[in-house]
Amino acid sequence: MHISEGVLSAPVLLAGAALTAGCVSLGLKKMDNKRIPEVAVLSSALFVASLIRIPFGPSSVHLVFNGLAGILLGWMAFPSILVALTLQALVFQYGGFTVLGVNTFNMGAPAILTYYLFKSLIRAKSKFISALAGFLAGSVGVTGGSLLIALSLINTGEEFFNIAGIQLIAHVPVMIIEGIITSFCILFLKKVRPEILEVAREKTL
């Protein structure tokens, strides 16, 4: 879900950079030393998720895990995603540094949305409700990212309208697969490390 360099217009790039800077700052304010290892682990997961990808026009299709990051980290998902995307740009030339702000926001904003939508349902006593909430969190994370990519492309120029629509369709299988994986991750964590899911009780806006 990276937009390549040389595609987006300057206003879109600047808007993405400004939004990401604000959100990353907020995430860093909410992070304490005890949470740094957890943020690092999620950054690693996000980094690895992109290794199997299918180039698609100015973007790419691959697993994202931003929904899972949002559930586990809350606002700290933004610095975690920024680190992962920076490493991907450095090591594999995925995306790029000029689009780092836009790509981070496109993945981070849906992560925060899943945090607020599903944080209570994830901790439900019913395994079915937790599993369903995990599935929706994973799916919504990918869906939100795809919609923001489409919005970024459309705001750059009308010539990207068709590509924006096609990339939404291309991500439908990823939405389903990621929903299933996130659901299993939530059930596993509830069984072996339930305290990790208590992150949602920390600071809120």
pLDDT in tens, 9-65: 899 999 999 999 999 999 999 888 888 888 998 888 888 777 766 665 555 567 888
Q: Where are the domains of the chain?
A: 10-201
Q: SS3 letters for the chain? A: CCCCCCCCCHHHHHHHHHHHHHHHHHHHHCCCHHHHHHHHHHHHHHHHHCCCEEEECCEEEECCCHHHHHHHHHHHHHHHHHHHHHHHHHHHCCCCCCCHHHHHHHHHHHHHHHHHHHHHHHCCCCHHHHHHHHHHHHHHHHHHHHHHHHHHHHHHCHHHHHHHHHHHHHCHHHHHHHHHHHHHHHHHHHHHCHHHHHHHHCCCC
Report, at the CATH architecture level, how domain 10-201 is classified: Orthogonal Bundle (1.10)
Answer yes or no: are the C-beta atoms of 20 and 78 closer than 8 Å: yes
Q: Is residue 202 over pLDDT 50? A: no
| Higher local confidence (pLDDT), 192 or 71 | 71
Considering the chain, what percentage of its residues have pLDDT values greater than 70?
Answer: 90
Average pLDDT (154-160) is 81
Cα–Cα separations (whole angstroms), residue 94 to 22, 36, 47, 154, 166? 23, 25, 11, 21, 20
Q: Is residue 173 over pLDDT 80? A: yes
Mean pLDDT of the chain: 85
Give residue 205's pLDDT. 42
Average pLDDT (90-94) is 78
Average pLDDT (176-202) is 79
| Structure tokens that stand for 115 in this block | 């945090």
Span 97-123, pLDDT tens digits: 889 999 999 999 999 999 999 988 988
CA distance 165 to 150: 7
Give residue 159's pLDDT. 74
